[in-house]
């Protein structure tokens, strides 16, 4: 249970040994499944700890008793009573079902009673999408970074990689007046919108994942599935400026082969990306958004521009076309709003 929050850790430590052993085995099982993201694994383990804590308060001493249908329903009812969103309830029910099913297959319980547990349907909310001009305003880097990004020569990624291994700047690279953090932020914003990557995917990019000749990045998504995603000229310019004039000045041995670096020279983390987007949104005077909104916006703008659904699915790395189809609802809703506002007989 390493890495859990203090509240969850305390609950875990207070559980009986047989419950803790089951959770530890379940954690190893989830980690061996390539189809689940680290975020999902953490959420499931937190949910299971809360479930078994609730079961213990109901005097359940065995796993069979803890995963009995009345206990499961009582736990979900309690979650509902705290005002948890339907999407949260749906995830917690899914975690309970996954845990119970695994426990039955592992011989830890006789019957998988959670199969009878109703899973609340998550609310289907349309994603936040910026208008095209808002997205453009957000990703436009501040003056110094943008100026530098428009006047750079092609970068040899292999030389940058070799320099990373040594913890030094690439051969022939000279310091530039532009702030390296500004150049990095420009690359972050351009990549988020140009490629529609998730924040974790962006932070996980290495130098070898950039194909600057073909303007492609290799993205490792959920379940360690890889996909190649194209990017345009503005992103190309921002990446080149950052690699030539920004990254070498941020690099320390901690950075290794990471494409994007933090101010201390290590790999950029998702929290910093969220701060970058929030700060730039305020500066550009566009609605405050999370980085994921740039992913939503890119997908919607592609569909609005005539891209086919299958291509957008591949670009986003969605396993199911149904997930991508959510963006068609966004496009239709935008059309409806425009119609109501502009058509004389709306």
Together in a domain, 30 and 69: yes
Could you confirm whether 28 is annotated as catalytic? no
Of 91, 198, 247, 296, the catalytic one is 198
273 located within any domain = yes
Tens of pLDDT along the chain (346 residues) come to: 544 556 888 999 999 999 999 999 999 999 887 567 778 888 999 999 999 999 999 999 999 999 999 999 999 999 888 888 888 888 999 999 999 999 999 999 999 999 998 766 655 666 788 989 999 999 985 543 343 434 444 555 555 554 444 443 444 443 343 799 999 999 999 999 999 999 999 999 999 999 999 999 999 987 778 899 999 999 999 999 999 999 999 999 998 999 999 999 999 999 999 999 999 999 999 888 899 999 999 988 988 888 888 888 888 888 888 777 777 766 766 666 666 776 666 5
Statement: the pTM of the whole predicted model exceeds 0.75: no
Of 4, 176, 215, 292, the catalytic one is 292
Together in a domain, 148 and 256: yes
Together in a domain, 97 and 145: no
User: CB–CB of 216/153 below 8 Å?
Assistant: no
CATH number of the domain where residue 64 is located: 1.10.150
Q: What angle do CA 217, 323, 193 make, to 5 degrees?
A: 35
Could you confirm whether 327 is annotated as catalytic? yes
Question: How many domains, in total, are found in the chain?
Answer: 2
Residue ranges of alpha helices (H) inside 58-179 are 63-66, 69-81, 86-105, 132-139, 143-149, 157-166
CATH number of the domain where residue 169 is located: 1.10.443.10
Could you confirm whether 222 is annotated as catalytic? yes
Boundary of a domain, candidates 250, 271, 288: 288
24 located within any domain = yes
Could you confirm whether 240 is annotated as catalytic? no
User: CB–CB of 58/74 below 8 Å?
Assistant: yes
Residue ranges of alpha helices (H) inside the chain are 6-14, 17-32, 38-57, 63-66, 69-81, 86-105, 132-139, 143-149, 157-166, 180-195, 199-203, 233-241, 247-250, 270-284, 291-304, 309-316, 321-342
Boundary of a domain, candidates 49, 82, 116: 116
Of 91, 184, 296, 318, the catalytic one is 318
Together in a domain, 261 and 140: yes
296 located within any domain = no
Domain that holds residue 189: 132-288
Together in a domain, 104 and 185: no
Report the DSSP pairing between strands 210-211 and 226-230.
unpaired
Could you confirm whether 11 is annotated as catalytic? no
């Amino acid at each position: 249970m390493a890495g859990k929050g203090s509240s969850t850790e305390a609950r875990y430590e207070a559980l009986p040994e047989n419950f803790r052993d089951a959770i530890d085995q379940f954690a190893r099982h989830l980690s061996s499944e390539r189809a689940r993201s680290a975020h999902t694994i953490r959420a499931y383990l937190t949910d299971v700890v809360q479930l078994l804590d609730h079961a213990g308060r109901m005097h359940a001493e065995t796993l069979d008793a803890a995963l009995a249908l009345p206990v499961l329903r009582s736990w979900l009812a309690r979650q509902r009573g705290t005002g948890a969103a339907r999407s949260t309830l749906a995830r917690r029910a899914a975690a309970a079902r996954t845990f119970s099913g695994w426990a039955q297959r592992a011989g830890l319980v006789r019957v998988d009673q959670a199969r009878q547990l109703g899973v609340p349907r998550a609310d289907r909310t349309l994603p936040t999408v910026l208008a095209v001009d808002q997205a453009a305003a957000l990703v436009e880097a501040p003056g110094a970074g943008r100026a530098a990004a428009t006047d750079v020569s092609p970068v040899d990624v292999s030389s940058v990689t070799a320099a990373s291994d040594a913890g030094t700047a690439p051969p022939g690279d000279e310091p530039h007046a532009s702030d390296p953090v500004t150049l990095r932020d420009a690359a972050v914003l351009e990549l988020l919108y140009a490629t529609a990557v998730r924040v974790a995917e962006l932070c996980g990019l290495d130098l070898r994942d950039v194909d600057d000749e073909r303007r492609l990045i290799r993205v490792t998504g959920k379940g360690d599935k890889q996909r190649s995603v194209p990017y345009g000229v503005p992103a190309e310019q921002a990446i080149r400026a950052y690699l030539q004039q920004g990254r070498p000045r941020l690099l320390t041995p901690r950075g290794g082969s990471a494409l994007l670096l933090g101010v201390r020279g290590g790999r950029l983390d998702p929290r910093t990306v969220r701060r970058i987007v929030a700060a730039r949104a305020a500066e550009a005077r566009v609605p405050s958004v999370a980085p994921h909104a740039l992913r939503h916006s890119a997908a919607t703008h592609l569909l609005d521009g005539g891209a086919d659904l299958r291509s957008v699915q591949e670009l986003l790395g969605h396993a199911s076309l149904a997930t991508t189809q959510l963006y068609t609802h966004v496009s239709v809703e935008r059309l409806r709003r425009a119609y109501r506002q502009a058509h004389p007989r709306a």
